[in-house]
Amino acid sequence: MISRIYSRFCQTLPAPEGSRGLLVAFSGGLDSTVLLVLAARFARAHGLALNALHVHHGLSPHADDWVAHCEGVCRQLAVPLIVERVQLCRGNGESLEAQARAARYERLAAHLGEGEWLLTAHHQDDQLETLLLALKRGAGLRGLAGMVASQPFAAGHLLRPLLDMSRAELAEAAQSLPYGWVEDESNEDPSYDRNFLRQQIIPLLKDRWPAMARTTARTMALCAEQEALISELAEADWQAVGEGEGLRIDGLLSLSPVRRNNLLRHWIRRQGGEMPSRELLGLLWQEVALARDDANPRLSLQGLACRRYQGRLYLVAPDLAPREEVLPIRMEETLTLPDGLGQFRLWRTDGEGLRTPRGDEPLSVRFQVAPGVMLKPVGRVGSRRLKKLLQEYGVPSWQRGRIPILYYGEQVALVAGLFVCDGFLAPEEGVAWEWRPPVPQDAD
């Protein structure tokens, strides 16, 4: 039995020359035991390094016994075992199941080397559970596509080589092995959604339709293909309509509603946001994108806020407050700005720069100017208030009060990224400056 499964296992894996080693997520349960045996055989056949990793969550009174069991199996297979102990926080609003999963993948990522493969024991029946849970949540194609057989992960790749095998096949293979396996008692608790499906719903479905798991896997593969297709379309639309990290509203207006929503979801995802509901996406369009011209609309999403400025949509942090600090800075110093606003530094240069400050002009970085103060950028005729200048330079309202301003004593020398004030520019042997704003995170 194990030999027949091994042949299918090998067919699902990429060419072994592309791997620098294998890491198996090993819980000691039935599925991961079969996976470890298959991986050990594959690693020996192709001369690859293999390690197993077991995460001790401390949730079960038997957790230490499971570690001992895993150590014994790995000794018999001559596979090095890494044991990671993690602590979870009860009562913090996140389910222990979700915390345990996040902690497990965090530890797996930490131990996965460059170009290595992480193997997990997800199988065909897990896919069926995943689909039913996605239907419960009202998920779109991305959720209905379920787990993929291969995807980038940390420094290497995450592979699920058992996805086309049923739990019954794995159980038959496990019973032919001499190692045994551990049973997690929490798997019997129907208060967990997956357990409820596994114990009460899926057996009924399989009794009625024995091929249910296999046909479901085929449906999910088709959903994955369709998801890949609409992602390609969204990326093409992003290239046409995106500007910086924003979206041009006139470009969105040229798209059909379905295509526009697809691009909005892609835009939110690539900036690290969570997918909004259809209702929230409708509000984003109606109350932000189509708000009256003189409005300053804002819609809160999960962890982000959608704002509009000069015909563009932006996703920003939800609570951007103006800064009031006065931060002294010296020459040849790099100053870390508050609230994740990046770094600001000064150094001497032989080329064009700011004039050298006088002894009575201590340098400081601030974010505000006093009411009524007029500024005159180099090359401009006449002075204007900072608010008007920021409007002219196209600075969105939520960024005002968050741009570093270099002061010589009580005089504004420059507004970083925008302009130098008249009287502070030197043609040579001056002071160079640099503001490194935070780099927006790309979810892809």
Residue with the bigger pLDDT between 88 and 270: it is 270
* Residue found under tokens 């002009």: 361
Report CA dihedral (241, 242, 247, 253) to the nearest 10 degrees. Answer: 10
Residue 27 among known ligand-binding residues: yes
The pLDDT, as a whole number, for residue 388 is 93
Res. 424: pLDDT tops 80: yes
- Among residues 108, 141, 142, 148, the alpha carbon closest in space to that of 127 is found at 148
The pLDDT, as a whole number, for residue 444 is 36
Residue 32 among known ligand-binding residues: yes
The number of beta carbons lying within 10 Å of the beta carbon of residue 25 is 21
Neighbouring C-alpha atoms within 13 Å toward the C-beta of 20: 8
pTM: 0.70
Q: Give the E-state strand segments of 349-420 in sequence order.
A: 353-354, 363-366, 374-375, 384-385, 405-408, 411-415, 419-420
Res. 85: pLDDT tops 80: yes
The pLDDT, as a whole number, for residue 93 is 59
List, in sequence order, every residue forming a beta bridge with 377; answer none if it has no partner.
421
The pLDDT, as a whole number, for residue 100 is 84
Q: Which two tokens stand for residue 275?
A: 């997918």
Could you tell me the pLDDT band of residue 439, with boundaries at 50, 70 and 90?
low
Distance between start and end Cα atoms, the chain: 40
- Among residues 19, 32, 50, the alpha carbon closest in space to that of 161 is found at 32
Residues in the chain: 444
The phi, psi pair for 28, rounded to 5°, reads 95, -5
% the chain with pLDDT above 90:
66
The pLDDT, as a whole number, for residue 226 is 93
Do the bridges between strand 117-119 and strand 22-25 make them parallel or antiparallel, or are there none, so unpaired?
parallel
The pLDDT, as a whole number, for residue 443 is 38
Residue 60 among known ligand-binding residues: no
Q: Which residues contact 342 (CB under 8 A, 6 or more apart)?
A: 435, 436, 437, 438
Q: Which residues contact 41 (CB under 8 A, 6 or more apart)?
A: 6
Q: What mean pLDDT, rounded, does the chain reach?
A: 90
Could you tell me the pLDDT band of residue 25, with boundaries at 50, 70 and 90?
very high
The pLDDT, as a whole number, for residue 327 is 96
Res. 231: pLDDT tops 50: yes
Res. 218: pLDDT tops 50: yes
Q: Using the 8-state DSSP alphabet, how is residue 273 labeled?
A: P
Res. 201: pLDDT tops 90: yes
List, in sequence order, every residue forming a beta bridge with 248; answer none if it has no partner.
312
Could you tell me the pLDDT band of residue 348, with boundaries at 50, 70 and 90?
very high
DSSP helix/strand/coil, 192: coil
Could you tell me the pLDDT band of residue 90, with boundaries at 50, 70 and 90?
low
Q: Based on C-alpha coordinates, what's the Rg of the chain? A: 29
Residue 28 among known ligand-binding residues: yes
